[in-house]
Copies of this chain bind each other. A is one copy, B any other.
Amino acid sequence: MKTVMTMDFKEQLQNEVLRVEEILDEYLPAKENFQKIIMEAMEYSVKAGGKRIRPIPMQESFRMFGGVSKLVEPFMAGMEMLHTYSLVHDDLPAMDNDEYRRGRKTTHVVYGEAVGILAGDALLNYAYETAARAFDMADSEEMCQRVSKALRIFMKKAGIYGMIGGQTVDVMNEGKPVEQDMLDFIFRLKTGALLEASLMIGATLAGADETKVLVMEQIGSKVGLAFQIQDDILDVVGDEKVLGKPVLSDEKNRKTTYVSLHGMKQAQEDVEGYTKEAMLLLSNLKNSQAVCNTEFFENLLVMLIHRNK
């Protein structure tokens, strides 16, 4: 299932990415006082040149359910900060021990390991401080409840029942053969959880009811799985220069991947399968409530999966 990436889509995406950069600049802390270095390390980590597309599905989910205000913006900034903290801690010597990410030195290499740990902690904490600024825009019980629900989804999907849970299982099984159910668990929690959170948060802030929020979770789960399988595929066929990390790094670490478990053909079919299922759920939702055009949203999710870089 390929979606045509029209000039319109690329232009709109570029605009959205620029807007995400602006939002991040607005919400990153000023670099001041005795603890200035931690703010510098946070900014260095966040600005390490990611694609900045992570907060966009959250915004699209918000828009899809009729959201028009700036309510979603502190959560978008918080999501990017939270994602960054997980990378900073993942790169530490006791974890993946990566000295470079996206061609730049990792945070602990530049600032030392102690500040690397603290900068990760700081980004995790500040992600929630930032998202919670949405309470400033909540002037009724209904809005206060929406923000609190969104915040709790964010926390749950980032924690031991989400990303941290997935990271733990991943770390504990480094270099060991892994069964399918455990690999699914790692995929679902380590990569999928934050995407699920993004789609759920957008919908919740816009006032979608619980059932629809749960459908958004399922869409996130399926896109996340497809994304992660595609990642394993790219690790085998990708071009090192394009990806910015050594190809076959998973194989080097003797890691079980979706491709090593199921073979390349099955992996590619499953990417298509999960993508289709996600698109069907999205399309049913759209029809059930006559929402605005979701073409950009669909293109975005497919692009997330079908990337080659």
Residues on the B chain within 8 Å of A62, using CB: none
Instruction: Give CA–CA (A182, B29) in the complex, Å.
Output: 21
Find residues 106-155 in chain A having any chain B CB closer than 8 Å to their own CB.
112-118, 120-122, 124-126, 128-129, 132, 135, 138, 140-141, 144-145, 147-148, 151-152, 155
Counting CB contacts under 8 A, is A54 at the interface? no
- Within 8 Å of chain B (Cβ to Cβ): is A168? yes
Q: Give A1 Cβ to nearest chain B Cβ, in Å.
A: 31
| A156 interface residue (CB < 8 Å to B) | yes
Q: Decide if B118 touches A171 in the complex (CB within 8 Å).
A: yes
Q: Report if A205 contacts B (CB, 8 A).
A: no
Any chain B CB within 8 A of the CB of A46? no
B156 touches A129 (CB 8 A): yes
The reply to whether A128 and B126 contact each other, CB–CB distance below 8 Å, is no
Contacts of A92 in B (CB 8 A): 117
Quick check: B29 and A160 within 8 Å, CB to CB? yes
Q: Say yes or no for A89: interface residue by CB 8 A criterion.
A: yes
The one of B35, B141, B159 in contact with A169, judged by C-beta atoms closer than 8 angstroms, is B35
Q: Interface readout for A158-182 with B: 1 if CB under 8 Å, 0 if not?
A: 1110001111110110000000001
Distance, CA A61 to CA B117, complexed state (A): 33
Central interface residue in A117, A118, A125, A135, by most chain B CB within 10 Å: A125
Residues of B within 8 A of A94 (CB): 93, 112-114, 116-117
State which of B121, B141, B172 has its C-beta within 8 Å of the C-beta of A144: B141
Question: Is A95's CB within 8 Å of the partner chain B?
Answer: yes
Tell me the bound Cα distance from A86 to B182 in angstroms.
30
**CB-defined contacts of A125 to chain B, threshold 8 Å:** 124, 155, 158-160, 164
Q: Which residues of B contact A164 (CB under 8 A)?
A: 35, 38, 118, 121-122, 125
Known interface pairs A94-B117, A147-B148, A151-B132. Does A159 touch B126 (Cβ–Cβ under 8 Å)?
yes
A164–B121 Cα distance when bound, in Å, is 8
| Interface CB pairs A-B, < 8 A, 9 | A29-B160, A35-B189, A37-B172, A42-B160, A94-B113, A95-B117, A121-B164, A122-B168, A135-B145
Other than the known A35-B169, A85-B121, A121-B121, what 15 A-B pairs have Cβ atoms closer than 8 Å? A34-B165, A37-B168, A37-B172, A38-B160, A93-B94, A115-B168, A118-B168, A121-B164, A122-B159, A122-B164, A124-B125, A128-B128, A132-B152, A144-B148, A147-B148
